[in-house]
Amino acid sequence: MLTDLFHIAIFPGFLFLVISGFIAETIDRKMYARLQNRMGPPWFQPVADFLKLIGKEELYPCEADVPVVRLMPIVALTCVVTAFLYIPLSGVKALYSFEGDIIVIIYLLTIPTISYFLGGWYSRSVYSMLGAVRAIIQLFAYEVPLFLAILAPTILANTWSLSRMAEFYSQHPLLCCFNIIGFMISIISLMGKLEKTPFDIPEAETEIVAGSFTEYSGRMLALFKVSINVETIVGAALVAAVFLPFGFNSGWIIGSVSFVLKILFIIFLMTLIRTIVARLRIDQMIDLCWRFFAPFALLQVLINLLAKEFLSI
Amino acid sequence: MHDPHAGDVKVPVGPQHPALKEPESFLLTLRGEKITSVNIRLGYNHRGIEKACEERTYIQSMYIIERVCGICSHSHSTAFVQAVEEIAGLEIPKRAKHIRTLIAELERIHSHLLWLGVAGHEIGFDTLLMYTWRDREIVMDLLNAISGNRVNYGINTIGGVRRDISKVDYARILKDVDSLEERTKYYIELAKEEVTLHKRLSGVGMLSKENAIKYSAVGPTARASNVNYDVRKHDPYASYGELDFEVMLSDKCDVYGRTLVRVGELMEAYKMIRQLVKSMPEGDITVKAPRKIPAGEAISRYEAPRGEDVHYVRSNGTDKPERVKIRPPTLANLQAVSHMLEDRYLADMPIVIAAIDPCFSCTDRMISIDHGARKGAKTVDWDYLRAYGIEHYKKSGIDMDKLNRKFESRMSKVC
């Protein structure tokens, strides 16, 4: 009972995730700034922002459905924190695992987007409703390539449990070379999920102010920010566990170090991409996802099917 | 019955909105993500500058005019000064003309680099913003070294310019222009190669040549629609008649074309600055101007970074202008914006508005239309307004009388 509480509240649950989320945001912002020839904020900026927001007043439009609007950040945060419990960190074994947990993780990672939609929709402001609709449209665009790309490696591993998949790939590390297309697609789809440039369409500042979050303020906005940070970590950990199965079998020290390095690598890739591109339009985003990423993800599935057939694993 | 406007959403962009750097209202009607109509409302930034000029001497007015706009301050003051000089029949020294032209081109560089950054920001490409604004510092520092100010250079005076440029500055100008040219070449390459930039800019905000003429667009907006019109070339003022430069044109008719025209104009500006420094004549920088300008009127045209800027000045023989009228380029281009926005995506709205390089503080004028319906409405003059203001604040307990008297007595002691 106590260990369960420890797992949920401290490690690898809530506290660990929130802190690493702050660190991820610091690294992202600092790197973004350095790539743009700026100094960037000091290291404690995300924490300072969070503390400031917590102390602020909460204001909602009088037409808003306040209970739903206030519930949504909590739902989003809960879901991403829960998803993390099924992802293997330093060793091949996640805290909890069962056959099919990979579907549960992807499902839990979809809920934040739905909560952005509901939160924005029930704020009843023009900008947040437009942002909410855009978030949902975007969900339909990136979700299919993400699903296909994440599930393709399971064909080779012959399991839908993330822990067993990590075990399989760490025994056959060379097999992950087959999954490079899937890795690329999942990184880009993850950027769509996290609403980062070029897919920051639902919160495009110069068009619809802050999208779904326009009417949020105070604590609830802070919680949304935290849940996005945590989602960054969880998403990166998921991609790392599926596509980068290195360092799982060498004890917890090397395991932890390699876990951190993998997450940093993925965050760096995402920051690099968001530095060098402009925001797309929603129609261009859908075009890109369905015309390029979905077929390439299918190609990834095909490659894995053929590999399974010919390598007789 | 089915309502044809059932799915329409009205989105207010402005007067306060992150896409706009100045208050102005665009009321968009959306169906889905598509804009069906645009309603533009001006007047949130009205400062009564034209009226204020009538209450001040020509020299004082010049400084007010310079503050019409923070970016193209030199454009406005030069246009005004040219009009006044025309009425007074002053022929300014050649060196003064050269210095005016030099500052004008430096200003064009800083304005176009600023625009490039803003355009990047509007399409979510903040890296471009950071890069161009860093490079813009070079030209801002240069202007600071020449004129003493980064903006509002205060270089003009009636009858010439106030500050001379030394030999030391020549070397610095040439050096800085070289480094700016190198950076601009990089941006041209970037504009041609970056895929997402191309995707967001080309085909957006189409304005055909016919429509550009119909809506009387000016400046880079018109030139990107292949309208060969540039005051510098077709009605040369200052030293532009002696310079060898090309009018940048593009037949793309979209925002991408406008980007190419502006970046091309940057390259032309570097060329012109080199010519100006090389051919800088020796001599005086100012001629003596009379305090009272003889009665008359003049129109002065000037190619500001944003397009043709027109100033009209009428004098009545006193030391104050009787009427000053400014027609800034943004006002001419705004008509085209609502045409460019129709049937486009909401996502294109910021960049289409930004593509004319709008300057709303230049643009905002007020027209009062009296239908005779409002009873008790009257026109008030400056002194009445001043007295009314003092009275108003006294009522709410803010009394400056004592402070004013104290200040006056101190001033009289000093004098």
Please report, for chain A, the start and end positions of each structural domain, with discontinuous segments joined by +: 2-311
The pLDDT, as a whole number, for residue B374 is 64
The pLDDT, as a whole number, for residue B370 is 61
Same domain, B287 and B174: yes
Same domain, B351 and B208: yes
Whether residue B1 has pLDDT greater than 60: no
**Residue A125 distance to chain B (closest CA, Å):** 10
The pLDDT, as a whole number, for residue B328 is 87
**Residues B80-127: pLDDT tens digits?**
999 999 898 888 898 999 999 999 999 999 999 999 999 888 888 888
Output the average pLDDT for chain B.
Answer: 85
Domain housing B407: 382-414
Same domain, B83 and B169: yes
Same domain, B139 and B163: yes
Chain B CB contacts of A204 below 8 Å? 124, 347
The pLDDT, as a whole number, for residue B109 is 92
Same domain, B282 and B395: no
Residue with tokens 């992202």: A28
The pLDDT, as a whole number, for residue A50 is 92
Chain B CB contacts of A291 below 8 Å? none
Measured distance CA(A147)–CA(A161) in Å, rounded: 15
The pLDDT, as a whole number, for residue B396 is 84
Same domain, B197 and B215: yes
Residue B181 makes CB contacts below 8 A (sequence gap 6+) with: B267, B270
Model ipTM value: 0.83
Same domain, B342 and B409: no
Same domain, B36 and B105: no
CB A101 within 8 A of CB A162: yes
Same domain, B230 and B93: yes
User: Looking at residues B16-42, what average pLDDT do you find?
Assistant: 83
**Residue B120 distance to chain A (closest CA, Å):** 8
Same domain, B33 and B62: no
Q: CA B208, B214, B220, B225: dihedral to nearest 10 degrees?
A: 20
pLDDT band at B415 (very low <50, low <70, confident <90, very high): low
The pLDDT, as a whole number, for residue B372 is 63
**Residues B182-218: pLDDT tens digits?**
999 998 888 888 888 888 888 888 888 888 888 888 8
Q: Which of B120, B130, B200 comes nearest A38 by C-beta?
A: B130
pLDDT band at B368 (very low <50, low <70, confident <90, very high): low
Residue B234 makes CB contacts below 8 A (sequence gap 6+) with: none
Is the preceding omega at residue B358 within 30 degrees of 0, hence cis? no
The pLDDT, as a whole number, for residue A266 is 92
**Residue A80 distance to chain B (closest CA, Å):** 27
Instruction: Indicate yes or no: CB of B122 within 8 angstroms of CB of A206.
Output: yes
Helix (H) or strand (E) run with residue A100 in it: none
Lowest mean pLDDT of A5-14, B184-193, B240-249, B363-372, name the range. B363-372
Measured distance CA(A313)–CA(B241) in Å, rounded: 80
**Residues A219-231: pLDDT tens digits?**
889 998 999 999 9
**Residues A233-279: pLDDT tens digits?**
999 988 888 888 777 777 778 888 888 888 899 999 999 998 888 88
Instruction: Indicate yes or no: CB of A279 within 8 angstroms of CB of B12.
Output: no
**Which tokens belong to A61?**
């439009």
Number of domains in chain B: 3
Instruction: Indicate yes or no: CB of B348 within 8 angstroms of CB of A281.
Output: yes
Residue B347 within any structural domain of the chain? yes
> For residue A118, what are the CA distances in angstroms to A79, A123, A283, B24, B191?
15, 8, 22, 31, 39
pLDDT < 70 positions in chain A: 90-92, 312-313
The pLDDT, as a whole number, for residue A167 is 81
The pLDDT, as a whole number, for residue A33 is 92
Residue B1 within any structural domain of the chain? no
Same domain, B135 and B15: no
**Residues A54-71: pLDDT tens digits?**
998 888 888 888 898 889
Residue B400 within any structural domain of the chain? yes
Nearest CA in chain A to B11: A126
Instruction: Indicate yes or no: CB of B196 within 8 angstroms of CB of A283.
Output: no
Same domain, B68 and B155: yes
Measured distance CA(B149)–CA(B161) in Å, rounded: 15
